[in-house]
């Protein structure tokens, strides 16, 4: 089994998929923009060969170079787990005549308007929306959809350039801020709780499924610096309030023609219980959610994904033992972290539930919380009981403080 894996070392969690591929017996050919000499040793040892390209996001250039590089060698799969490369991988598959999702199918997971059109055409509930390219189209769409509304790029990620707009005056301001974005979605604003629906699929059928609860919704978490964003995987997937969302999720996978691999969907649960589709990617979620899923069941989905992608089988137990909560912290102040308050007390009392403590240590420069949800580090904890997991996450959010002053 010879696999071309795009971006084997960056973002950092890709290193785990590279390991997973090697562990299930694949010969891994990596393609990335990191110089070969700078690849971490634990990535290098899993790669049979590596091609460094100058611009990883330049699809045409990457395709040309990979084609040349592989000349005379047979490969069986081209895979990518990073959102910005899923189309490149599909183009390479088509070029080489390899199995896997087509460019057209993958576009349905990447273009947020095409995605909603296909989901809507299957009779599933999405926010009302329109594709806009000009200021005039934006004004007309806003008139039609009404306020509040959401404006966001067609192929966004990380909630970058996503705006809630409450009035025509605000619309003008936001349009000014979005001038550099060529194409956007204008959407009905959905009020409700926000959840994920994550899967590993074989032929569009989930062999693994997960739901996680965002507390609060990502748009709020990334707008207010004083918030410590929390995401908790839900142990009990059978509960009534999550049924509609999971049913919606399975419908979406069919509507978009999912094949093999990871998916990460976001959906809203309105106060009346209705589930509304948000968005979906044909790749794993970021911000450590795969680690959270692993801690939920004590399994290794990095490796199981690889097994599915290479051999079409999934072997991990799917029994859910815990609710796994990740809490991201943001320091008060600027510059370097100077001290952490409340951590020792928390660890003394609740340390047995903590599986990862990765807060930045004093002396480390702060990260830009606008650019990365991981902010100034995280604590990951787990508990079999939802209320307890939730309560512990709120204690971390409210009672542990980082300072940079």
Ligand X SMILES: Nc1ncnc2c1ncn2[C@@H]1O[C@H](COP(=O)(O)OP(=O)(O)OP(=O)(O)O)[C@@H](O)[C@H]1O
Residues that bind ligand X (CB under 6 A): 127, 150, 152, 156-160, 162, 187-190, 194, 217-219, 266, 278-279
Q: Which does 189 bind (CB under 5 to 8 A by kind): Mg ion, ligand X, none?
A: ligand X
Question: Minimum distance from CB of 11 to ligand X (Å)?
Answer: 12
Question: Minimum distance from CB of 271 to Mg ion (Å)?
Answer: 21
CB of 293 closer than 8 Å to CB of 273? no
Question: Minimum distance from CB of 115 to Mg ion (Å)?
Answer: 12
**Nearest CB to Mg ion, comparing residues 260 and 266:** 266
Question: Minimum distance from CB of 229 to Mg ion (Å)?
Answer: 13
Give how far Cα 77 sits from Cα of 10, 16, 18, 300, 372, Å.
19, 18, 13, 21, 31
Q: Which does 338 bind (CB under 5 to 8 A by kind): Mg ion, ligand X, none?
A: none
* Nearest in space to 92 (alpha carbons), one of 110, 108, 70, 114: 70
**Nearest CB to Mg ion, comparing residues 266 and 304:** 266
**Nearest CB to ligand X, comparing residues 82 and 322:** 82
Question: Minimum distance from CB of 156 to ligand X (Å)?
Answer: 4
Q: What is the full DSSP assignment across 14-49?
A: HHHHHHHHHHTTPEEEEEESS-GGGS-HHHHTTEEE
- 8-state DSSP, 195: E
Per the DSSP assignment, residues forming a β-bridge with 3 are 28, 77
**Nearest CB to ligand X, comparing residues 22 and 280:** 280
**Nearest CB to Mg ion, comparing residues 195 and 346:** 195
Q: Which does 190 bind (CB under 5 to 8 A by kind): ligand X, Mg ion, none?
A: ligand X
**Nearest CB to Mg ion, comparing residues 98 and 227:** 227
Q: Which does 187 bind (CB under 5 to 8 A by kind): ligand X, Mg ion, none?
A: ligand X
What gap in Å lies between CA 57 and CA 83, rounded to an integer? Answer: 11
CB of 231 closer than 8 Å to CB of 325? yes
**Angle at alpha carbon of residue 229, lines to 334 and 6, rounded to 5°:** 90
What gap in Å lies between CA 346 and CA 342, rounded to an integer? Answer: 6
**Total residues belonging to the chain:** 405
Subset of 239-298 contacting Mg ion (CB under 5 A): 266
Question: Minimum distance from CB of 35 to ligand X (Å)?
Answer: 28
Q: Which does 389 bind (CB under 5 to 8 A by kind): Mg ion, ligand X, none?
A: none
What gap in Å lies between CA 353 and CA 307, rounded to an integer? Answer: 30
Binding residues (CB under 5 A) for Mg ion: these are 266
């Amino acid at each position: 089994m010879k696999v071309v894996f795009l971006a084997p070392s960056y973002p950092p969690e890709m290193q785990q998929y590279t390991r997973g591929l090697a562990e299930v017996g694949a010969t891994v050919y990596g393609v990335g923009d990191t110089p070969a000499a700078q690849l971490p040793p634990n990535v290098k040892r899993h790669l049979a060969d590596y091609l460094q390209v100058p611009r990883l996001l330049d699809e045409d250039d990457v395709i040309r170079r990979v084609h040349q590089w592989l000349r005379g060698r047979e490969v069986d799969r081209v895979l990518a787990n990073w959102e910005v490369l899923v189309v490149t991988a599909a183009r390479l598959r088509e070029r080489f005549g390899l199995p896997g999702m087509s460019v057209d199918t993958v576009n349905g997971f990447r273009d947020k308007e095409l995605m909603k059109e296909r989901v809507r055409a299957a009779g599933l509930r999405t926010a009302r929306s329109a594709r806009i390219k000009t200021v005039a189209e934006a004004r007309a769409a806003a008139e039609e959809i009404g306020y509040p509304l959401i404006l966001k790029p067609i192929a966004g990620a990380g909630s970058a350039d996503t705006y809630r707009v409450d009035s025509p005056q605000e619309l003008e301001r936001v349009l000014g801020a979005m001038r550099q974005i060529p194409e956007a979605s204008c959407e009905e604003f959905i009020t409700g709780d926000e959840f994920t629906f994550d899967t590993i699929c074989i032929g569009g059928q989930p062999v693994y499924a997960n739901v996680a609860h965002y507390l609060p919704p990502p748009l709020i978490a990334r707008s207010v610096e004083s918030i410590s964003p929390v995401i908790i995987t839900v142990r009990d997937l059978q509960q009534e309030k999550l049924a509609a969302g999971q049913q919606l999720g399975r419908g979406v996978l069919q509507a978009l023609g999912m094949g093999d691999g990871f998916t990460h969907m976001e959906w809203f649960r309105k106060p009346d219980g209705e589930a509304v589709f948000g968005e979906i990617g044909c790749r794993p979620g970021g911000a450590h959610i795969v680690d959270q899923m692993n801690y939920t069941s004590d399994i290794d989905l990095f490796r199981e994904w690889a097994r599915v992608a290479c051999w079409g089988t999934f072997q991990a137990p799917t029994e859910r033992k815990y609710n796994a909560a990740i809490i991201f912290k943001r320091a008060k102040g600027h510059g370097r972290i100077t001290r952490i308050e409340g951590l020792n007390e928390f660890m003394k009392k609740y340390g047995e539930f903590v599986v990862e403590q990765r807060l930045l240590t004093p002396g480390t420069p702060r990260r830009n919380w606008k650019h990365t949800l991981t902010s100034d580090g995280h604590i990951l904890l787990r508990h079999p009981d939802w209320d307890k997991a939730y309560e512990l996450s709120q204690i971390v959010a409210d009672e542990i403080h980082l300072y940079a002053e």
